Structure 1
Amino acid sequence: MRIALVTTRELPVPDADEDLLLPHLPEATLVAWEDPDVDWAGFDAAFIRSTWNYQDHRDDFLAWARAVELTTALHNRHATLAWNTDKRYLADLAAAGVPTVPTAFVAPGERAGDDALAGHVVVKPSVGAGSNGARLLRDDPAGAAAHVAALHARGLTAMIQPYLHEVDEHGESALIFVGGALSHTARKAAILSRDMSWATGLYADEKIAPAAATPAERDVAARVLEAAARLGHDDLAYARVDLLPTPDGPVLLELELAEPSLFLGLDPEAPARAAAAFRARAARG
């Protein structure tokens, strides 16, 4: 059996997850999605992993995924990638009853409402990863509007969310699911409220520690994945559910189904679990 772990040529070094996964998955090879010389039909399965430049080449990336899916089993599927690589999917999940960070989406040619720009807000593109293009504006409606305009000038839809201050004390929780089961949980320190660094140039560096998911976090994560399944995005090889704390309980910040870091280094057993799940999924085709 041959398995492709899909990365990008723009990543200067292998991702930490890949370094941990490969020893447990000797049938796997790191392959760049944009490498024109790859024979994707030669693989039994391809797992999207560190394709972190997709936001700058989304149309090409999705066209590539559609083509690969014709010749080999792609995880996660093209339809899920198309849905999940634009954060407007959050509106679908909110409509399905998932507690979600309130989000206003403002497409090019549209104007953000004054209420959306007031207070402490996060403005970022709806297509983006690794905090690229994200800014925290504190009581600066003009600055927020200017950042919306800057995103529009790049042809991007802007999204505006209130900054939930509880994250500064409690952090963000990331529940990692592999093969349909909760593998482990990470706690991420607030990132936008401090100076960011960019070691790879593709994503902002994060401070991450192992954590135990609370019953409330498990419940919300289950609701998120159930809602995604009802929308046609089920049978997932992996998922990461990112939650923020609020006085009323956790709310969804992002559901990562395309190329999330799985933070395998936080749990000694996580790499072997992920490898076994990927191997079983590849064997299914």
Structure 2
Amino acid sequence: MKRCAFLSMDSLAEFESYDHLLHKPLKKMGWTAEEVSWRNTNINWNQFDAVIIRSPWDYQNDPKDFLNVLENIESSTATLENSLELVKWNIDKTYLQDLQQQGIEIVPSLWYQQFEPSLLPTFFSELQSDEIVIKPTVSAAADNTFRIKHTEHSEYVQLLTNTFNDRPFLVQPFMDNIIEEGEFSVFFFGDSYSHTVLKTPKPNDFRVQEEHGGKLTPVEPEKKLLATAQKTRNNISPLPLYTRADYVRTDQNTFALMELELIEPSLYFNMDPESPKRFARVFDEWLKP
């Protein structure tokens, strides 16, 4: 049997993870899989044939250490997926600028290296929005993400100063359709489409993650959404083993990219019973010489 490690974190007790659904289909393909914390310094990565980055959902607290671990894996005999090249590109949300330059519609965004209190009122006017979202360019699980109304912005000055004093961030208009309709996640394994999930926040919230009370619903994507997702995927090089692209519907009835998740996205195997089998087939073919 070939050995595969799912790169995880010390404890997933506070998170929802569905990677265990891969164990059975992978075993049928001749693979054994085990969860390994990226913080475990005693791991010999050469003992694995492959390492799949799956649920290291605390990496944003120590991104340099995380990348060092990935570099160690990359230099071992194990195959790292997604690749270190993709991770380095995707770990900072400035990748959205690259995709925008390639013709991909993204949620309108402003980019800053450091927060200055005098900037805050200008965000609303520049984005022509009464409500904005501010988040770090390196983040995960909605950490340090703030939704701010224009009428309340003065209350956030100190908090934003403390959070982004020496940390790059981006500002986007709050997209009402996140609440009114939800956020679409479209999944590809290799170059094959797999499934789509609609994520909706709980009442009086805007975060769609399950850990924050969000709801998941499997959906058939509209042709326009699927075409948009395929266009996004076609602009990624090298081709990822797994791709999750998150979209929100705009007022013009297009789909704007919110996030392109190539590092540690939940792939919501629980939402499509065939998706673990699809992943296992693609993965096994991917690792063949």
TM-score, normalisation: structure 1: 0.89
Identity of aligned residues (%): 28
Q: Does 1:279 align with 2:284?
A: yes
Q: Which residue of 1 aligns with 2:20?
A: 19
Q: Which of 221, 229, 232 is the aligned partner of 2:229? A: 221
Structure 1 residue 138 displacement after superposition:
1.5
Matching of residues 111-190 of structure 1 within 5 Å:
112=119, 114-118=121-125, 119-139=130-150, 140-143=152-155, 145-153=157-165, 155-190=166-201
Q: Which amino acid aligns with 1:264?
A: F
Q: C-alpha distance in 2, partners of 1:197/1:91?
A: 23
Q: Which of 238, 242, 246 is the aligned partner of 1:242? A: 246
Q: C-alpha distance in 1, partners of 2:25/2:14?
A: 19
Q: Which residue of 2 aligns with 1:80?
A: 86
| Alpha carbons 1:108, 1:157 under 8 Å: kept | yes
Structure 1 residue 207 displacement after superposition:
1.1
3-state secondary structure, aligned to 2:142: coil
In structure 2, relative to structure 1, the CA distance for the partners of 1:270 and 1:151 (3 Å cut) is same
Q: C-alpha distance in 2, partners of 1:197/1:87?
A: 18
Structure 1: runs of 5 or more not aligned: none
Q: Which residue of 2 aligns with 1:211?
A: 219
Q: Which amino acid aligns with 1:212?
A: E
Q: Which residue of 2 aligns with 1:69?
A: 74
| Alpha carbons 2:142, 2:207 under 8 Å: kept | no
Structure 1 residue 191 displacement after superposition:
6.1
In structure 2, relative to structure 1, the CA distance for the partners of 1:131 and 1:191 (3 Å cut) is farther
Q: Does 1:104 align with 2:105?
A: no
3-state secondary structure, aligned to 2:221: coil
Q: C-alpha distance in 2, partners of 1:148/1:221?
A: 33
Structure 1 residue 162 displacement after superposition:
0.1
Alpha-carbon displacement from aligned partner over 1:44-84 (angstroms, at most 9, x marks no partner): 11110001011001000011111110112100111111111
Alpha-carbon displacement from aligned partner over 1:76-113 (angstroms, at most 9, x marks no partner): 11111111111111111112211000111111266736
Aligned positions, number: 276
Structure 2: runs of 5 or more not aligned: none
In structure 2, relative to structure 1, the CA distance for the partners of 1:197 and 1:93 (3 Å cut) is closer
| Alpha carbons 2:51, 2:80 under 8 Å: kept | yes
Q: C-alpha distance in 2, partners of 1:76/1:148?
A: 33
In structure 2, relative to structure 1, the CA distance for the partners of 1:219 and 1:195 (3 Å cut) is closer
Structure 1 residue 235 displacement after superposition:
2.1
